[in-house]
Amino acid sequence: MTRWHAGAKQGRSGRVLGVDWYELNEQAVDPYLVWADLSGLRSIAREGAPGGDVATPDEALRIAVQFRPGDAPPELHGIQWHPLPSACGAQFATAFVRACDLRDVLLHPHVLRVELGFRAPAGHRLAESATPPTPPSRKRTKRPTVAVIDFGCAFAHERFRRLDSGTWRSRIAWLWDQGHTPDVGETTWHAVPEPGYGRELGADDIDVLLAAHGQDGRVDEDAVYRSARYDSVQPVLMHGTHVLDIAAGEDPAATEQSTADIIFVQLPDFAIDDTSGGSMVTHVLDALGYILARAGEATPLVVNLSYGAMAGPHDGSTLVETAMDALIEDAMGPGDRATAKPPHRYLGIVLPAGNSFCADGHAQATLSGARRQQTLHWQVQADNPTDAFLEVWYPRESGQWVEVEVAAPGGQSGAAGVDRIATLRAGPDDEPIAAIVHRRHASAGLTDAVALVALAPTRTRDGGRPAAPAGVWTVTIRLVDEAPAATAVPIHVWIERDDPPIGSGAPPRQSFLLTGALPLGANDEGPADSVVQRRSTCNSIANGARTIVVGACTAQKGEFRAMAAYSSAGPTRNPRRVDLRAPSGTSGQDPGATNWPDLVAPAEISSALSGCLAAGTRSGVQVRMNGTSVAAPQVARAIADRYLQAESKSPGTTGMGQHVVRARPPRRLEIRALDVPRAGRGLLVNPLRD
């Protein structure tokens, strides 16, 4: 009979990493790492076997690490660290480690926090020794570089090349495909030695492919992809191609001086299939390091990451948010406009606000003597091949007073207080189908404790892993009997994103909270006393101090009509978004700056015609896609366009991104032209917040 187990050995340690998690209660541990270990790392994707077999102790894992300020990456088990280029006192790195060595990394005094990324392909070697290709022989210019981190880059498309004296030249300076390794004897693709995985093409490599499969000014794009053994753009609509066209696509007749250079990092398909973003932190950090290395000293550099998740602390404290802030500050300065020297380069990172405003994925309440518990009903979809997650966040100092209880649809219930783990299993030695991982100290959260409720898939890929039941799971957060009557604990609950991948045709699988209320109108935040809230639904990696967050709106003939009904809203928790007008050395917290988004751009034509037109995966084909993912690259393009105008001294624009919209809470907006400093002035740390 399936029942909950709490406190026993099987609820404290997993099958692979050799960690007794109760011994690490004082460490900042990622609760998802605990769940992954309990499930034999089946929930962690890898190329060729996403979420399938149980890992072995010798298997290589990709991790992301933040070291303590002033401490060097440790010499440990021969691990080859790949640090991000940052000089802001915060040190970040990624690395491949053996599963059996991860405990020593977690316990090392130089390590502040660790997040698990993905399982390396079978047979992966921990050390790679490949020679990087010679960079393309392109003349150094002050033109902007637009970098896109996404999936599905149609690199042979005419929007990303130009005709130079009858010869096609690629505008894509570098393409890194993170999901595949070069074949033995490969001559088209090159290994990427620094991160130690994936394959890349330089502009000269793409030019060779275009010349080999072009005739009379035409290019056989299908032949290019077959020759390159590149199958990531078979459907007509691919997210990355659409986003890249909005951010940097141009007519092939455009001159070199009027176009931005392009760097594209293609995320692996297994990471895209896992829309919860479980492995995204390592891929994004590696992508940012790669972009900065390949861009060199080129300035300005604008990075678009049209991706995100729903759960998390929403206070800017996640590892990837902290790293992005540090990289921007390293390039741009600390943010004091009155005294800061001009930055040595412009670096902007543009993120979407998220599409979860109407997802019923956030709840908010305060536990007190008058209201000692809050019960939520969590609808979990049937036929879901991925894990489902719910997070409960509350102030760390209240940890001793809070308990989280979970009841499965069959009625079995279990509970875990802080620094405890409870698992739902058919037997003591069986793999859990659900767990409560309740931690006072986690890898994210500035001053918070977190309880992670994790469920196995409701449809498993093989007969080895037990499935969790679909239906309504009941989650109760309560104050324990010993809590003083005057105790007041604000709680926030978020459900993690679990959409089917774009273009998969799969049925909906996103879980949600049952509200028991009538549906609200578009852009209606609902009653202030409602437990399920549409506020604070922003992208969980877009709460940092220096990134640019973009929402979506409906616009007709250049006129703003309304916010898109799905576009997520703020504010953040424990806000730490920086007021760039604050004097150096002050807290710099501006409550007005915490409301989301910073800017919006059109993603809908009308209520009857949704989406923006942009490139399909073959030249001459346009497709529509909506969401804040297509709003963000319009801002990235607008920034690049302004620098191009400054360089060419042209008063015009290239069309897209002429105007963006600045948000005014609550969801009231005003049209505002984008004001970016001319190249060389660079006195505004963030030109979108003045």
Higher-scoring residue by pLDDT: 527, 345? 527
**Cis upstream peptide for 300 (omega within 30°):** yes
Q: Residue 655: is it exposed, middle or buried by C-beta count within 10 angstroms (0-12/13-18/19+)?
A: exposed
Confidence of residue 504 (pLDDT cuts 50, 70, 90): low
Return the percentage of the chain with pLDDT > 90, whole number: 50
Which CATH number belongs to the domain containing residue 279 in this structure? 3.40.50.200
Q: How many domains does the chain have?
A: 1
CA proximity to 306, closest of 273, 284, 282, 328: 284
Average pLDDT over residues 384-408: 95
Higher-scoring residue by pLDDT: 43, 612? 612
As given in the structure block, the two tokens for residue 386 are: 């991925």
Report if residue 416 sits inside a domain.
no
Report if residue 304 sits inside a domain.
yes
Higher-scoring residue by pLDDT: 481, 574? 481
**Ramachandran category for residue 380: left, alpha or beta (phi over 0 → left; psi -120 to 50 → alpha):** beta
The gap from C-alpha 14 to its chain's centroid, in whole angstroms, comes to 27
Tell me which residue range forms the domain holding 589.
145-353+539-648+656-690
Query: How does pLDDT run across 468-478, given as a tens digit for each residue?
Result: 999 999 999 99
Query: How does pLDDT run across 259-304, given as a tens digit for each residue?
Result: 999 999 999 887 777 766 677 899 999 999 999 999 987 678 999 9
The gap from C-alpha 96 to its chain's centroid, in whole angstroms, comes to 20
Query: How does pLDDT run across 181-238, given as a tens digit for each residue?
Result: 887 777 899 999 888 899 999 999 999 999 999 988 899 999 999 999 999 999 999 9
Statement: residue 314 has pLDDT above 60 = yes
pLDDT at 219: 95
Report if residue 287 sits inside a domain.
yes
Confidence of residue 172 (pLDDT cuts 50, 70, 90): very high
Look up tokens 């590149």; give the residue. 230
Average pLDDT over residues 157-182: 93
pLDDT at 663: 42
Statement: residue 624 has pLDDT above 70 = yes
Looking at 100-183, which runs of residues are DSSP E strands?
111-119, 145-150, 161-164, 167-170, 172-177
Confidence of residue 625 (pLDDT cuts 50, 70, 90): very high
pLDDT at 665: 37
pLDDT at 519: 78
pLDDT at 575: 54
Question: Of 302-306, 335-339, 568-572, 680-684, which one has max mean pLDDT?
Answer: 302-306
Confidence of residue 7 (pLDDT cuts 50, 70, 90): low
Average pLDDT over residues 409-437: 91
pLDDT at 256: 87
pLDDT at 669: 39
Statement: residue 642 has pLDDT above 50 = yes
Rounded CA separation 416/435 (Å)? 9
Report if residue 681 sits inside a domain.
yes
pLDDT at 463: 62
Rounded CA separation 621/177 (Å)? 24
pLDDT at 335: 56
Report if residue 195 sits inside a domain.
yes
CA proximity to 457, closest of 361, 377, 382, 360: 382
Confidence of residue 528 (pLDDT cuts 50, 70, 90): confident
CA-based angle 683:687:690, to the nearest 5? 95
Query: How does pLDDT run across 113-141, given as a tens digit for each residue?
Result: 999 888 887 666 654 434 444 454 444 45
Report if residue 630 sits inside a domain.
yes
Report if residue 244 sits inside a domain.
yes
Statement: residue 678 has pLDDT above 50 = no
Q: Residue 341: is it exposed, middle or buried by C-beta count within 10 angstroms (0-12/13-18/19+)?
A: exposed
pLDDT at 572: 79
Contacts of 674 (CB under 8 A, 6+ apart): 635, 638, 639, 642, 657, 658, 659, 660, 687, 688
Confidence of residue 648 (pLDDT cuts 50, 70, 90): low
Report if residue 75 sits inside a domain.
no
Average pLDDT over residues 131-159: 76
pLDDT at 475: 98
Question: Of 50-64, 125-139, 399-413, which one has max mean pLDDT?
Answer: 399-413
Q: Would you say 600 and 388 are in contact if contact means Cβ atoms under 8 Å apart?
A: no
Distances from the Cα of 211 to the Cα of 196, 228, 229, 264, 495, angstroms: 30, 13, 17, 21, 49
